[in-house]
């Protein structure tokens, strides 16, 4: 290391003032010239408070700069020295006066008060056990077990204080990466993954080795584009005329993989505060990470308020309950402070005051606050401000009656905060009111846009308030793309902002939102897309509808870049509301159609194909399309409506829509994607109607035109799974019912293989479900159960409730056929309930048949017969004749067993079998025909009519005689024919 006679030693550092270099051991510490000059100036005056004006005048010469520029330099110094502004070892901020170099004291404590300054006292009481639980969670994480801890408690109970203490202890004793993000109480649509992006962005910026940057770049490239610290120019696109893909799988999988890689060598502590205000995508991410089983040195701590989750539909409530039930997370519920803990706080805060007075004060504070930490702190602060407690001559004094003083404290936090705000000077209150319009966190530059006040004066006001530490805190600097640099602050508690905001008159509030929105728009410049949700909120509040629509569109685009469908739907809906307030023009009509189509497409994924909200959205889209000249936007709308009516088992409507799509496909011969979707959608409808020959024709045509390279185009344009995957499996089922089992099996394998090559979660989950169905044709119940279980796993992991329900039913039936009847029946009822909750009725006759079989196993044939009759009536209503023969065969068995020996019962059972045989023959469903013929032949043989039995069975078996088909029906027919020949 170069030596110098002019050097200042402090801690592990050596400041070579003459050479303008900073060293740590033998390594040079990177520090820009201006921050290095500030450090040198301060270090040359150890212990002295150097004013900001002095530093600017000396080091910036005659150049005019704001105090924010000095903040930038000090922040750079602290980053280089790994110093903490809250607990400094080298550079101390001295209120509003300036800065002081304390490194020469080897990091000695800097909080010793002067004679006229009161001591700060302790900051946390009564949380020792909670703190121990957090450390235990960190120990598990350090051993390689991913750990998630929810810290629950009402507003102001001390969650943030607990987390601050824990993080401080961790950072001073353990080699742990710490990333911290905050969910904000938005009064507009939120940003997807906002707290996680904030936490990772800060860690990536502060982490000197660049390990997180490298890991994200390699394993989570879609996240890199969302982090300004890693990618200065992330793309934000909006294609209002395009339907939009909605699968969140990629971002979830990428970040989970990246975190596992990043934590192989070192533990990561990820803290997310106020999760009750989180966007749905962040909640989904927590659930996804918790469900994974790979080792990870990862501890996630998420704080939230229980009262804000009173609604059972809140996504966080559902995820937390699931994780707790499965033992995938821990919960720490913060209670109110006890009487003794409040007394300990009072005694520490006012050490040296008369003990009897402190005891009485603690009792009164506890009576009024019941141990609520925020109430307690604010009440005590108010007593100090009111003069009951004063610091004189180096100690605390109690001046006046404790009972009288405490009786004057408001009982509610709302009133308490209102009183605090009313006690502020008018200019200070105006600054805070404008800040409340900006949000929980605010930049001085944004506040200044709303007030006719010198920005420097606003900066000074905020700095003064932050130094007091009661209402706002300094969170650093806001540096905007237009070059603006100003202080960044946040309200110490969100309730402060709420009280201030609600106290602003309606007209003034509109003006403030307008001024702030326009300033933010100008400040963000080309990067407005990254802040689109914030800008949409401001312009929506000031009724600037044109800008509101624009920024909601951009916010929807940003959400889709993160595969966050919930947020995108919210922004589309909000954009449509604002668009309705603008003048009717051709441009408005065009934008409305684009937004409606996008929203309808997204709803198919997040609400389900059969949800009423999906139907309404597509109905509106259809009406708009019909009111405009012919447009390609119509085709995804028709296809979406077809899917809705198909899954709702309204097959006649779906059939009509399919024919309309086929006509359009004929007229637009160049639109291959439309042709594939038209034939595929119509073929699926015909399959469930039992028209197997027609279904086979359309499904083959769709497959002939399908090109695997268009996978992405289909997913985006038609908002669903890959048609190549789907058609392969639908066609396999069709061929199997027609008796062509040898051709069907390879098609099913091809469909699954195609889904695996694409790697897209929904198609893969559906393909495993379809594979489980295909395995049942050959009677391979073990393989069917395994494929269905994999479909359930994927559907649970990625959130596909309809596929999850169908696959659960499929797995249950396979278990029952394998002999595990008790477990299968329980699972069957669960699965049917899952499907019903999605609004789907397609396949209901089959489910009723399965439930009837369960009733028989449990000894309730009466209920079973009622279910079968219900299923047959459902077939007549819906036209879903696919299951008609199967239900008739099941009913015949039940009738024969229920009233064995009675001629009327035998006749009714035989009539069911003859109807089943006729239905199967009319459908060209040879496998169903053989199944009915086997049942009818047994019925005839049991009544001594062997010749008739042979005739029925031999006719149905002819198709399979020369084929190597492996199916339970074929094996049963072979055995029965051999018996009849004896």
Instruction: Kindly report the three-state secondary structure assignment for every residue of 167-226.
Output: HHHHHHHCCEEEEEEECCCCCCCCCCCHHHHHHHHHHHHHCCCCHHHHHHHHHCHHHHCC
Q: Does residue 112 surpass a pLDDT of 50? A: no
Distances (CA, A) of 590 to 223, 593, 640: 32, 5, 20
pLDDT of res. 653: 94
Average pLDDT of the residues in 784-793: 95
Average pLDDT of the residues in 110-126: 50
Distances (CA, A) of 102 to 48, 75, 765, 898: 9, 16, 61, 94
Owner of token pair 């309200």: 491
Q: Phi first, then psi: what are they for 834, rounded to 5°? A: -60, -45
Q: What span, in angstroms and rounded, lies between the C-alpha atoms of 847 and 870?
A: 11
Q: Does residue 723 surpass a pLDDT of 70? A: yes
Q: Does residue 563 surpass a pLDDT of 50? A: yes
DSSP 670: T
Single out the residue of 673, 691, 675, 672 nearest to residue 683, CA to CA: 691
Q: What span, in angstroms and rounded, lies between the C-alpha atoms of 398 and 364?
A: 14
Give the mean pLDDT of the chain: 84
* Helix/strand/coil for 302: strand
At 441-500, the pLDDT tens digits run 999 999 999 999 999 999 999 998 888 766 888 999 999 999 999 999 998 767 678 888
Q: What span, in angstroms and rounded, lies between the C-alpha atoms of 785 and 771?
A: 10
Tokens of 680: 């595929």
- How do beta strands 330-333 and 147-152 pair? parallel
Average pLDDT of the residues in 517-527: 93
pLDDT of res. 6: 53
pLDDT of res. 231: 57
Single out the residue of 639, 640, 698, 694 nearest to residue 923, CA to CA: 694
The angle at the Cα of 73, spanning 67 to 78, to the nearest 5 degrees, equals 125
pLDDT band for position 719 (50/70/90)?
Answer: low
pLDDT band for position 2 (50/70/90)?
Answer: very low
Residue count of the chain: 982
Q: Does residue 690 surpass a pLDDT of 80? A: yes
* Helix/strand/coil for 165: helix
160-164, 740-744, 806-810, 849-853: segment of lowest average pLDDT: 160-164
Average pLDDT of the residues in 569-597: 89
Single out the residue of 280, 762, 285, 308 nearest to residue 567, CA to CA: 280
pLDDT of res. 409: 46
Single out the residue of 978, 789, 969, 816 nearest to residue 889, CA to CA: 969
Q: Does residue 408 surpass a pLDDT of 60? A: no
Helix or strand run (H / E) with residue 23: strand 21-24
Single out the residue of 645, 717, 732 nearest to residue 681, CA to CA: 645
Higher pLDDT, 73 or 745: 745
The angle at the Cα of 581, spanning 576 to 583, to the nearest 5 degrees, equals 110
Q: Does residue 876 surpass a pLDDT of 60? A: yes
13-22, 73-82, 672-681: segment of lowest average pLDDT: 13-22
pLDDT band for position 20 (50/70/90)?
Answer: low
pLDDT of res. 300: 96
pLDDT band for position 513 (50/70/90)?
Answer: very high
pLDDT of res. 245: 41
188-202, 227-241, 326-340: segment of lowest average pLDDT: 227-241
DSSP 94-132: ETTTEEEE-GGGTT----PPPTTS-----S--S-HHHHH
Q: What span, in angstroms and rounded, lies between the C-alpha atoms of 888 and 860?
A: 18
Q: Does residue 421 surpass a pLDDT of 50? A: yes
Owner of token pair 């708009």: 624
483-487, Cβ contacts within 8 angstroms, sequence gap of 24 or more? 484/445, 484/523, 485/66, 485/68, 485/69, 485/72, 486/66, 486/68, 486/443, 486/444, 486/445, 486/448, 486/455, 486/459, 487/68, 487/71, 487/443, 487/444, 487/459, 487/462, 487/463
Q: Does residue 721 surpass a pLDDT of 90? A: no
Tokens of 536: 């949409």
Q: Which residues contact 103 (CB under 8 A, 6 or more apart)?
A: 8, 10, 11, 13, 43, 46, 89, 90, 91
Q: What span, in angstroms and rounded, lies between the C-alpha atoms of 97 and 448?
A: 23
Cα of 940 vs its chain's centroid, Å: 60
Instruction: Give just the sign of the alpha carbon dihedral 496, 497, 502, 507.
Output: positive
pLDDT of res. 683: 97
Average pLDDT of the residues in 671-693: 95
pLDDT of res. 593: 84
pLDDT of res. 78: 86
- Percentage, residues of the chain above pLDDT 90: 42
At 245-279, the pLDDT tens digits run 435 677 888 899 999 999 988 899 999 988 888 88
Q: Does residue 571 surpass a pLDDT of 50? A: yes
446-450, 868-872, 940-944: segment of lowest average pLDDT: 940-944
Q: Does residue 240 surpass a pLDDT of 50? A: no
Within a 13 Å sphere around the CA of 873, how many CA atoms are in the beta-carbon half?
Answer: 6
Q: Which residues contact 507 (CB under 8 A, 6 or more apart)?
A: none
Out of 632-636, 750-754, 972-976, the most confident range is 750-754
pLDDT of res. 712: 67
Average pLDDT of the residues in 718-737: 88
Q: Does residue 870 surpass a pLDDT of 80? A: yes
Within a 13 Å sphere around the CA of 422, how many CA atoms are in the beta-carbon half?
Answer: 7
Single out the residue of 202, 193, 192 nearest to residue 167, CA to CA: 202
Q: What span, in angstroms and rounded, lies between the C-alpha atoms of 831 and 833?
A: 5
* Helix/strand/coil for 826: helix
Which residues does residue 22 pair with via DSSP β-bridges, in sequence order? 15
- How do beta strands 176-182 and 267-273 pair? parallel
DSSP 759-776: --HHHHHHHHHHHHHHHH
- Percentage, residues of the chain above pLDDT 70: 88
Distances (CA, A) of 86 to 111, 136, 164, 667: 11, 26, 11, 71
State the burial class of residue 786 (Cβ atoms within 10 Å of its Cβ: 0-12, 13-18, 19+): middle
Single out the residue of 799, 886, 815 nearest to residue 847, CA to CA: 886
Q: Does residue 411 surpass a pLDDT of 50? A: no
pLDDT of res. 258: 92
pLDDT band for position 37 (50/70/90)?
Answer: confident
At 66-104, the pLDDT tens digits run 677 788 788 888 888 888 787 788 898 887 788 988 876
pLDDT of res. 242: 42
At 204-227, the pLDDT tens digits run 877 777 888 899 989 988 888 777
């Amino acid at each position: 290391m170069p030596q110098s006679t002019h050097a200042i030693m402090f801690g592990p550092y050596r400041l070579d003032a003459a050479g303008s270099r900073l060293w740590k051991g033998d390594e040079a510490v990177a520090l820009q010239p201006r921050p290095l000059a500030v450090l040198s100036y301060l270090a040359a005056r150890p212990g002295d408070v150097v004013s900001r004006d002095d530093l600017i005048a000396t080091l910036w010469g005659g150049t005019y700069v704001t105090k924010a520029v000095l903040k930038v330099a000090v922040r750079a110094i602290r980053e280089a020295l790994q110093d903490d502004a809250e607990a400094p070892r080298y550079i101390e901020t001295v209120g509003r006066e300036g800065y002081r170099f304390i490194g020469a004291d080897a990091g000695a404590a800097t909080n010793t008060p002067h004679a006229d300054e009161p001591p700060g006292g302790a900051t946390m009481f009564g949380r020792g056990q909670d703190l121990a639980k957090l450390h235990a969670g960190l120990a598990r994480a350090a051993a390689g077990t991913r750990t998630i801890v929810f810290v629950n408690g009402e507003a102001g109970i001390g969650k943030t204080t607990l987390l601050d203490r824990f993080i401080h202890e961790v950072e001073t004793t353990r080699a742990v990466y710490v990333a911290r993000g905050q969910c904000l109480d938005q009064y507009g649509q939120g940003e997807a993954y906002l707290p996680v992006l904030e936490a990772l962005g800060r860690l990536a910026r502060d982490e000197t080795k660049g390990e997180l940057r490298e890991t994200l770049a390699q394993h989570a490239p879609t996240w890199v584009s969302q982090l300004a610290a890693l990618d200065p120019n992330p793309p934000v696109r909006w294609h209002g005329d395009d339907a939009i893909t909605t699968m969140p799988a990629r971002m979830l999988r990428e970040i989970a993989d990246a975190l596992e890689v990043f934590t192989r060598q070192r533990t990561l502590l990820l803290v997310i505060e106020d999760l009750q205000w989180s966007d749905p995508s962040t909640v989904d991410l927590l659930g996804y990470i918790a469900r994974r089983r790979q080792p990870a040195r990862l501890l996630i701590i998420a704080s939230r308020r229980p009262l804000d989750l009173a609604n059972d539909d809140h996504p966080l409530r559902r995820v937390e309950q699931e994780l707790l039930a499965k033992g995938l997370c821990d919960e720490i519920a913060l209670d109110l402070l006890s009487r003794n803990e409040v007394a300990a706080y009072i005694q520490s805060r006012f050490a040296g005051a008369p003990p009897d007075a402190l005891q009485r004060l603690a009792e009164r504070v506890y009576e009024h606050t019941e141990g609520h930490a925020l109430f307690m702190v604010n009440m005590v602060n108010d007593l100090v401000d009111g003069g009951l407690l004063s610091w004189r001559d180096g100690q605390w004094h109690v001046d006046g009656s404790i009972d009288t003083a405490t009786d004057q404290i408001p009982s509610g936090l709302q009133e308490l905060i209102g009183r605090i705000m009313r006690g502020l000077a008018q200019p200070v209150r105006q600054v805070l009111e404008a800040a409340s319009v900006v949000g929980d966190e605010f930049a001085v530059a944004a506040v200044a846009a709303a007030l006719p006040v010198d920005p420097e004066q606003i900066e000074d006001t905020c700095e003064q308030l932050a130094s007091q530490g009661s209402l706002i805190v300094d969170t650093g600097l806001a540096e905007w793309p237009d070059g603006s640099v100003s202080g960044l602050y946040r309200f110490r508690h969100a309730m402060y902002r709420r009280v201030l905001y609600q106290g602003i008159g309606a007209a003034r509030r509109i003006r403030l939102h307008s001024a702030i929105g326009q300033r933010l728009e100008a400040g963000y410049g080309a990067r407005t897309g990254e802040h689109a949700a914030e800008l949409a909120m401001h312009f929506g509040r000031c009724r600037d509808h044109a800008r509101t629509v624009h920024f909601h569109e951009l916010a929807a685009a940003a959400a889709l870049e993160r595969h966050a469908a919930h947020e995108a739907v919210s922004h589309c809906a909000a954009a449509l509301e604002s668009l309705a307030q603008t003048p009717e023009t051709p441009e408005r009509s065009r934008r409305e159609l684009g937004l409606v189509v996008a929203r309808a497409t997204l709803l198919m994924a997040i609400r389900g194909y059969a949800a009423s909200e999906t139907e309404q959205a597509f109905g509106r889209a259809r009406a708009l399309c019909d009111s405009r000249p012919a447009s390609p936007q119509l085709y995804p709308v028709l296809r979406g409506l077809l899917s809705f009516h198909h899954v709702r088992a309204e097959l006649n409507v779906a059939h009509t829509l399919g024919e309309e799509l086929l006509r359009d496909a004929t007229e637009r011969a160049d639109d291959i994607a439309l042709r594939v979707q038209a034939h595929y959608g119509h073929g699926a409808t015909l399959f469930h109607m039992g028209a197997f020959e027609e279904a086979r024709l359309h499904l083959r045509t769709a497959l002939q035109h399908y090109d695997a390279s268009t996978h992405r185009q289909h997913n985006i344009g038609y908002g669903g799974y890959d048609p190549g995957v789907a058609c392969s499996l639908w066609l396999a089922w069709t061929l199997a019912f027609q008796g062509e089992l040898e051709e069907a099996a390879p098609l099913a394998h091809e469909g699954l293989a195609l889904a695996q090559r694409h790697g897209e979660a929904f198609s893969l989950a559906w393909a495993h479900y379809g594979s489980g169905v295909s395995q049942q044709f050959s009677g391979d119940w073990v393989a069917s159960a395994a494929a269905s279980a994999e479909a359930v796993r994927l559907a649970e992991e990625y959130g596909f409730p309809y596929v999850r329900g169908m696959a659960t039913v499929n797995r249950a039936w396979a278990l029952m056929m394998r002999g595990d009847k008790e477990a299968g029946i329980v699972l069957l009822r669960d699965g049917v309930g899952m499907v019903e909750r999605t609004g789907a009725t397609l396949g209901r006759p089959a489910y009723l048949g399965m439930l009837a079989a369960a009733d028989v196993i449990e000894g309730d044939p009466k209920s079973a017969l009622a279910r079968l009759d219900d299923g047959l009536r459902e077939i007549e209503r819906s036209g879903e004749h696919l299951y008609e023969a199967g239900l008739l065969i099941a009913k015949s068995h039940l009738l024969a067993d229920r009233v064995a020996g009675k001629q009327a019962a035998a006749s009714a059972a035989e009539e069911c079998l003859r109807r089943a045989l006729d239905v199967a023959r009319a459908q060209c469903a040879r496998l169903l025909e053989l199944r009915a013929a086997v049942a009818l032949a047994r019925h005839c043989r049991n009544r001594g009519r062997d010749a008739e039995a042979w005739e029925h069975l031999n006719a149905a078996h002819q198709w399979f005689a020369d084929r190597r088909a492996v199916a339970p029906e074929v094996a049963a027919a072979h055995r029965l024919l051999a018996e009849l020949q004896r």
